[in-house]
Amino acid sequence: MAALTPVSLSPDSTPPDSPSPVSPGAVPVTARRRRPRYWRGAVLTVAGLYFLTPLISSFVFTVHVPGQGLTFAAYSGILSADGFTESLFLSLSLAAATIALALLLVVPALVAVRLGPPRLRAVVEIVCMLPLVVPPIALVTGIATVLRWGPDHFSRTPLYQTFLAVQNESFPVVLVLAHTVLALPFVHRSLDAGLRAVDVPTLVEAARNCGAGRLYVILRVILPNLRSSLAGASFLTLALVLGEYTVASLLGFRPFAVWIVSVSGAEARMSVAVSLLSLLITWALLLVLSRAGSGPSAGAPAAGAASGAAASGAVASKTATTASAAPAPVPGKE
């Protein structure tokens, strides 16, 4: 009965549940302020200087000629340079074919892995990551050995014409195959990040219950949810093909990266200028892709594609690094 007994409160007393009054002289307790972390700005400043200093130095090298002053002749003569248009068109054609072949291989494989046994994911990932372990020089050595089988063992068979066709200088299919192998890690990472954000089994089951076939499910159900990831994979492959030098040079072809190095002996400033322009264009495409992937309509797959595309800066800078390493021209011989 003690719980039902009313409690009388005096006018000067404070209810038990009411907050205690604060005296006029007391200092209110506030949340601790976060100290500004100056080390973040320092790290960003050092990183910015590390990346911008070589670019600024390269730009100064292209526009400043000793004894002549400031000139933009290295940039104005790019379009009229011998072999520029042909090499660029060849690299873009190879990039388009490589993108199509890589997506044709990786997209069905990853969708099948999502629908199949989970233990196959590790197998597919290991196979796609192998090009990161195998050096390009070892890859091109193996390709050259296989190409020599044509005249050595298949010269009297119809396969000999196939060996000649894949080495056609106007469109070397062997480079498409080599670039596809090199692009597998980047394409796999970008698409895998997009597929992790999509409930593939539920989408496939719903589409199949509506009477859709397997090809229709992939083209009209799965791929629309991977648009940002597909764009990221395509961009990474494009950057890799435009900057790939080792395989094409050792096999005797002359795409864009090989052309830049070949003209560096006579036109060093022009080669560095072309490298800078290609690097800036690649970064601009990366920025556009990141902005498109961060939009509200892009969804979760865009975040994986945009983060995977950040590695393309290192891939695209291969051409600029190779060309910048060329010796500077001797004054008076330009």
End-to-end CA distance of the chain: 108
- Residue 155: is its pLDDT beyond 90? no
Q: What are 274-310's pLDDT values in tens digits?
A: 888 888 887 887 777 666 555 544 444 443 434 343 3
Residue with tokens 């193996």: 142
- In one-letter notation, the amino acid at residue 313 is G
Task: Report how far residue 92's alpha carbon sits from residue 88's, in angstroms, rounded to the nearest whole number.
Answer: 6
- Residue 42: is its pLDDT beyond 70? yes
What is the pLDDT confidence band of residue 33, given thresholds at 50, 70 and 90? low
The pLDDT value given to residue 179: 95
- Is 0.75 surpassed by the pTM of this model? no
**182 and 191 in contact (C-beta within 8 Å)?**
no
- Residue 54: is its pLDDT beyond 50? yes
Q: What is the DSSP string of 14-72?
A: --TTSPPPPPTTPPPP-PPPPPP-HHHHHHHHHHHHHHHHHHHHHHHHHHEETTTEE--
Domain extent listing, the chain: 66-324
% of the chain exceeding 90 in pLDDT: 23
What is the pLDDT confidence band of residue 325, given thresholds at 50, 70 and 90? very low
**240 and 136 in contact (C-beta within 8 Å)?**
no
Q: What are 189-232's pLDDT values in tens digits?
A: 999 998 988 888 888 888 888 888 888 888 888 888 888 889 88
CATH placement of domain 66-324: 1.10.3720.10
- Please give the helix or strand (H or E) that residue 243 lies within, else none: helix 227-243
